[in-house]
Amino acid sequence: MVGSHRGMTRTIAVIQARLGSQRFPAKMLADLGGHSVLEWVVTRVRRSTLVDRTVVATTQETLDDRLVAECQRLGVEAKRGSTNDVLGRFVAAIEGDAADAVVRVCADNPFIDPACIDQVIREFRESGAEYAFNHRPFGDCNYADGFGAEVVSRRLLERLDGTTLTAQHREHVTLAVADGSIEASIHACAAPKPLARPELRFDVDEPNALAELEALVRKGHLSLRSSATEVIAAADSRMRT
C-alpha cells in the first residue's frame, strides 16, 4: 500500500504551451470571448486553492516569442526549453523551486476548472500515489474532455527524466507511466456525477473547435470564472436549441 502525501507542502502548476501546432498554429493566442485562450487557462489555473505557483513551459523557438510576450502581459512566468523533449522542458521549468508535486495542464483546455485541479491534487495527496490524473480512460475517470489535469511527484518526474525513454515518451511527459513502461503507483480520479460527460469536448485542437467554444461562451454567457458545471450546463442548453 502506498503512503500518504499529506506532508507535502508545495505544489507547482506547469502549463504546457507552444504556438507551433500543425493543426491550429498560434491557437494559444486566439481570441475566445475577448480573452486569449492562454489567458483563460492561466487565470483558471491560478484560481486553484492548492497550487502555490504557476508557470508556462514553452519552447525556445522564435515563434514562441509572442507567447512569452503574452505571458508577460498576464503576469505569469514563462520558462523556455526543448520543443520535442517536453519532459525535459518540464523538469527545467521547476528547477530552483522547492515544490514536491507538479500539476501538468495543457494550454488548449480553456475551460480547465480550478476545482477539478484541486480534486486531483487532493486525491494525489490522500492516496499516496506517485501519479494522479482525471483525463485518461481508466476506471471511473470519465470527465468531459477539456477539464483534464494530472499531478506527478517531483521524484517520479525526475526519475522519468533520468531514464532512457523513447522520443514519444519524452514528448508526452507521463506516457511511460500511463502505458506501463515505467512502474509507478497511480490513482485515477473519478468524475463527480455532473461532470461525468465523456461525450463532451471542450479542448481547442482546430479552428472549428474554437468556433464552437466561442458560440458556447457567447450564448452561455460564460466568463473566466465560470465553473465546469456551468460550462456543461451551457453546452446542454445549446444542444437543446
Q: Quick check: is 110 in a domain?
A: yes
Q: What is the pLDDT of residue 138?
A: 78
DSSP conformation class of 28: G
Q: What is the pLDDT of residue 132?
A: 97
Helices 37-46 and 65-74: crossing angle, nearest 10°?
Answer: 50
Query: Which ranges in the chain belong to alpha helices (H)?
Result: 37-46, 65-74, 86-93, 114-127, 154-161, 167-171, 175-178, 207-220, 228-240
Q: Quick check: is 5 in a domain?
A: no
pLDDT, tens digit (0-9, with 9 covering 90-100), for 154-209: 999 999 999 988 999 999 999 999 999 999 999 999 999 999 999 999 999 999 99
8 A C-beta contact, residue 139 and residue 188: yes
| Domains held by the chain: number | 1
Domain holding 226, by residue range, is 11-240
Q: Quick check: is 17 in a domain?
A: yes
Burial class (CB in 10 A: 0-12, 13-18, 19+), 45: buried
Q: Quick check: is 158 in a domain?
A: yes
CATH code, domain with 64: 3.90.550.10
Q: Quick check: is 4 in a domain?
A: no
Grid cell digits, residue 169:
515518451
pLDDT, tens digit only, all 241 positions of the chain:
355 565 667 999 999 999 998 899 999 999 999 999 999 999 999 999 999 999 999 999 999 999 999 999 999 999 999 999 999 999 999 999 999 999 999 999 999 999 999 999 999 999 999 999 999 877 778 999 999 999 999 999 999 999 988 999 999 999 999 999 999 999 999 999 999 999 999 999 999 999 999 999 999 999 999 999 999 999 999 887 6
Q: What is the pLDDT of residue 241?
A: 66
Q: Quick check: is 236 in a domain?
A: yes
Q: Quick check: is 87 in a domain?
A: yes
How large is the C-alpha radius of gyration of the chain?
17
Query: Which ranges in 94-135 belong to alpha helices (H)?
Result: 114-127
CA distances from 229 to 57, 89, 126, 190 (A): 28, 33, 24, 15
Q: What is the pLDDT of residue 164?
A: 83
Q: Quick check: is 181 in a domain?
A: yes
Q: What is the pLDDT of residue 1?
A: 39
